[in-house]
Structures are given as C-alpha cells and as structure tokens.
Amino acid sequence: MIYENPGREASPCQFILVPNQSLRWNDVRRIIAVMTAVALTIGLAFCYVGLTLVLPFSGLEVLALAAALYYCQRRGAVREVLKVGDREVVIESGRRRPERVRTFPRAWVRVSLCKAAVDWHPSRLVLGAHGRELEVGGFLTEDERQDLARRLKRVLQIS
C-alpha cells in the first residue's frame, strides 16, 4: 500500500510504503490460542488412550505454527519512507524506526522499473544515482509498483 503525503508545494513530498497485511497481532494471538487448545485436546485424548508420543508432537506443531506466524507478522511490519526534498531523496526503511537510511541527490536520481529475467517474476523498482542503486517497494504488487514509479517520476521532474 502506498500513502502519499504531499507537502504544501510540489516538494517536499513523502511516500510511505507498507506491505498488505491481513492479520493484526491480536488476531495472531487468538489463532495460536485456538490451535493450542485444539492440539492440546487431541494430544491429551491420544495420551489417555495410551499413545503418549502424540502430545509432544502436537506441541511441536503449535510451536512451528507460532514461529511461522511470528515471522510473517514481523516481515509485514516493515515500512519504507521515501522523502523527496528540494535537494535530495531520502529512503528510510525499518520497522519501528528507520534502521537503514540512504540518500541520493535529487537532480541525479533515476527511477527505473526493471523487468525480471523470468516472465512470471515481478518487476523491480530501482532508484539510483552515481552508480549506486537501491530497490524500493519489493513487497508491493505489480500495479502498486508501476503507480509508484509514475508518481516518483512526476514528482522528481517538478523543480
């Protein structure tokens, strides 16, 4: 998803890129709690019948599910902020605060939408200047990536 925060004039302009995420942390906790209850019930039932090894393996299943959901939630919390100022373009990325910051001089920034080598792979939106390049919006859909490329080109040409 792309949120555009234009300034009073054409610049500075700010784009906030966030991945589409259908679950919130509270929903993930509920899913894990329900799956734990189901797995514990099944494991205890089998343990009562005499198959004691089912209980630890059902616990491992819930642990694997929790780890996978945690990983997905953590990846979905990444944000990229593109700030187009009068003199430079700043790209900040991270979860709660900027963990990586890259700057490019505005006058020299190239915006290119590179096609993938394989047809069914998504394209790459690359910002670059002076031999340095940085891919932005890797988590965006193809339409969102193309829309962002158009917007960035439009904003960078306004001087």
Q: What is the largest CA-CA distance in the chain?
A: 77
For residue 5, the number of C-alpha atoms closer than 13 Å in the C-beta half-sphere is 9
Using CA atoms, how far apart are residues 51 and 31, in angstroms rounded to an integer? 26
User: Spelled out in words, what is the top-level CATH class assigned to the domain 2-21+77-157?
Assistant: mainly beta
Q: Which of 132, 144, 9, 22 is nearest to 80 (CA)?
A: 144
Domain ranges of the chain: 2-21+77-157, 25-76
What is the pTM for the complete model shown? 0.75
pLDDT in tens, 43-60: 999 999 999 999 999 999
Mean pLDDT of the chain: 89
